[in-house]
């Protein structure tokens, strides 16, 4: 797509919970979690909200881009865990940043959300409708986590990542996206609240009373794992073919950080070395739609991204949804 990422930002809550902390809540241990997922610790909101993290990440991205809030035409926030239902998180971000000229809306596509936010903004920008967009993935998944379920509570963490996009006259890359609502029960959540029982000190083990199961994510981990390792390599090949880009032209594969073994399996199926698949899951766990922009921002700030490099971003998760997009770095 004819867009340029000209700034990135992220925000990570300072409260850390390591695997031993999880082992105090459920029957698990550090070794199992590290081996089966690659996760060592995760950061959990302690006073921060999905909106406040989105604002911090967004501000940092704007500051790097050297763009004022008034210049933003579009704000898209991808989230499944906003602390507000109405108004949308993107409008709350607009208010905090003073982005008075922006059109704002949220996007709900779980762990594929940031890739879809990128595609959505890129379509508006390359269609000539807007010139500048701020896209954000922000999640407080710890609010939606059942801390009695070892099949899910080991995985998730909180944080936000953002990118500023500008319309650009270079080559346009067409994205690949798919959905399979028929398999939605593999990862579901009926309702949500924004109370965090852990950091609010309300958790009291087996006997706690902090709502019914409808407030917590339910997951068939094996089904999601199998779906991801099959569909992500297919989507990557499809997006390369569609854009007539050779696989060896890709410098980085930025996958949604769900499980280290998923990333390793995708790399193996594509026949690519792990060096091209950066990971930060060890530090943050699975932050859903925030995982790709947090990783992108870390790489950007470390100077790992060079002008002319091609990146494939690939997301997958609840819906089921999945997709891949090619980004050319400037």
Known active-site residue 101: no
Q: Which residues contact 144 (CB under 8 A, 6 or more apart)?
A: 80, 81, 156, 189, 192, 215, 216, 217
Q: Are 159 and 43 in contact (CB under 8 A)?
A: yes
How many CB atoms sit inside 10 A of residue 249's CB?
11
| Closer residue to ligand UT7 (CB): 245 or 279 | 279
List residues binding ligand UT7 (CB under 6 A): 28, 32, 36-37, 111, 150-151, 154, 187, 219, 221-222, 224-225, 228, 258-259, 286, 317
Residue nearest to ligand UT7 (CB): 221
Q: Which residues contact 29 (CB under 8 A, 6 or more apart)?
A: 19, 23
User: Alpha-carbon distance 151 to 216, whole Å?
Assistant: 12
Q: Could you tell me whether strands 158-167 and 187-188 are parallel, antiparallel, or unpaired per DSSP bridges? A: unpaired
Least distance in angstroms from the C-beta of 87 to ligand UT7: 27
Least distance in angstroms from the C-beta of 320 to ligand UT7: 9
User: Alpha-carbon distance 84 to 95, whole Å?
Assistant: 14
| Closer residue to ligand UT7 (CB): 92 or 139 | 139
Least distance in angstroms from the C-beta of 59 to ligand UT7: 27
Known active-site residue 286: yes
Q: Which of 55, 91, 104, 111 is catalytic?
A: 111
- List b or e across 57-87, with b for residues whose CB sees 16 or more CB atoms inside 10 angstroms: bbbbbbebbebebebbbbbbbbbbbbbeeee
User: Alpha-carbon distance 248 to 127, whole Å?
Assistant: 29
Q: Which of 143, 256, 259, 300 is catalytic?
A: 256
User: Alpha-carbon distance 223 to 221, whole Å?
Assistant: 6
Q: Are 323 and 315 in contact (CB under 8 A)?
A: yes
Known active-site residue 153: no
Query: Helix, strand or coil for residue 123?
Result: helix
Least distance in angstroms from the C-beta of 275 to ligand UT7: 22
Least distance in angstroms from the C-beta of 304 to ligand UT7: 24
| Closer residue to ligand UT7 (CB): 4 or 28 | 28
| Closer residue to ligand UT7 (CB): 126 or 188 | 188
| Closer residue to ligand UT7 (CB): 1 or 258 | 258
Provide the annotated active-site residues.
111, 256, 286
């Amino acid at each position: 797509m004819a867009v340029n990422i000209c700034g990135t930002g992220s925000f990570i809550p300072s409260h850390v919970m390591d695997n031993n902390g999880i082992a105090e809540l459920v029957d698990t241990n550090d070794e199992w979690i590290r081996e089966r997922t690659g996760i060592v610790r995760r950061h959990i909101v302690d006073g921060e909200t999905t909106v406040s993290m989105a604002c911090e990440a967004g501000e940092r991205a704007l500051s790097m881009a050297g763009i004022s809030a008034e210049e933003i035409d579009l704000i898209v926030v991808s989230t499944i865990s906003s602390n507000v239902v109405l108004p949308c998180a993107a409008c709350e971000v607009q208010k905090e940043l003073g982005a008075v000229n922006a059109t704002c809306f949220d996007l709900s596509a779980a762990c594929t959300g940031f890739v879809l936010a990128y595609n959505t903004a890129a379509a508006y920008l390359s269609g000539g409708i807007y010139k500048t967009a701020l896209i954000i993935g922000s999640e407080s998944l710890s609010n939606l986590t059942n801390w009695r379920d070892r099949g899910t509570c080991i995985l998730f963490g909180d944080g936000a990542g953002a990118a500023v996009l500008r319309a650009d006259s270079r080559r346009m890359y067409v994205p690949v996206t798919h959905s399979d609502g028929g398999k939605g029960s593999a990862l579901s959540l009926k309702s949500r609240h924004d109370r965090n029982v852990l950091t609010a000190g309300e958790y009291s083990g087996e006997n706690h009373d902090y709502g019914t199961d409808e407030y917590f994510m339910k997951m068939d981990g094996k089904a999601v794992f199998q779906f991801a390792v099959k569909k992500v390599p297919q989507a990557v090949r499809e997006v390369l073919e569609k854009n007539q880009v050779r696989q060896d032209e890709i410098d980085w594969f930025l996958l949604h950080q769900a499980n280290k073994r998923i990333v390793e399996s995708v790399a193996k199926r594509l026949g690519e070395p792990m060096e091209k698949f950066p990971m930060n899951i060890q530090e943050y766990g699975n932050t859903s739609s925030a995982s790709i922009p947090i990783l992108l921002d870390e790489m950007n700030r470390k100077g790992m991204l060079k002008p002319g490099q091609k990146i494939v971003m690939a997301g997958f998760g609840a819906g089921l949804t999945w997709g891949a997009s090619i980004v050319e770095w400037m």
